[in-house]
Amino acid sequence: MQPPKPSAPRRQAVTAYVALGANLGDARATVLRAMDDLAQLPRTQVTARSGLWRSAPVDAGGPDFINAVAELRTSLAAPDLLHALQQLENAAGRQRPYPNAPRTLDLDLLLYGSTQIQSERLTVPHPRMSERAFVLKPLADIAPDLVAPQELARLAGQRVERL
């Protein structure tokens, strides 16, 4: 994997959260390997890892997903981090034949410090994270102050279980 091209001089590190998911191949092994791969990104360290969760696909078909969330401390700019995440997806064989297709690996940048970003390529906070129990439950594992109990209660009908 090529390191992302710097978009700015060295920046101060921020805390970012990345959702991981997979439902093709050995999804569990893929998510665990991706956690390790995140730790290899330049100017980035994984500071917390949620447990693994199994969930039914939302707005999609295919097998159940294995999900997790990682907390990163990174000095990569948000667009550079997004680029690095997409490279990891591609290295895992990610195909995008249609929206919400089953996937070998899905990495979503959920939060990037307290920054709000709205661009053609990136929206942070992730626009659908509060609609997905498979994101909020693993996020609550490692950052419970970021997930309100009423948010989880509202999503109680979504099937998601801790592995």
Q: Among this protein's residues, is 36 annotated catalytic?
A: no
Per the CB < 8 A criterion, the answer to whether 94 and 105 are in contact is yes
Q: Which entry of 37, 49, 54, 108 is annotated as an active-site residue?
A: 108
Residue type, 152: L
Q: Among this protein's residues, is 94 annotated catalytic?
A: yes
Q: Which entry of 94, 132, 141, 145 is annotated as an active-site residue?
A: 94
Helix residue ranges, H only, the chain: 27-39, 78-91, 133-142, 149-154
Q: For residue 124, what are the β-bridge partners?
A: 117
Cα end-to-end distance, the chain, whole Å: 30
Q: Among this protein's residues, is 108 annotated catalytic?
A: yes
Q: Which entry of 49, 54, 103, 132 is annotated as an active-site residue?
A: 103
Q: Report, in this order, helix, strand and coil percent for the chain, each rounded to 5.
A: 30, 25, 45
H/E element, 55? strand 53-55
Q: Which entry of 54, 106, 132, 141 is annotated as an active-site residue?
A: 106
Q: Among this protein's residues, is 106 annotated catalytic?
A: yes
**Beta strands 53-55; 44-49: pairing state:** unpaired
Instruction: Give me the active site residues, please.
Output: 94, 103, 106, 108
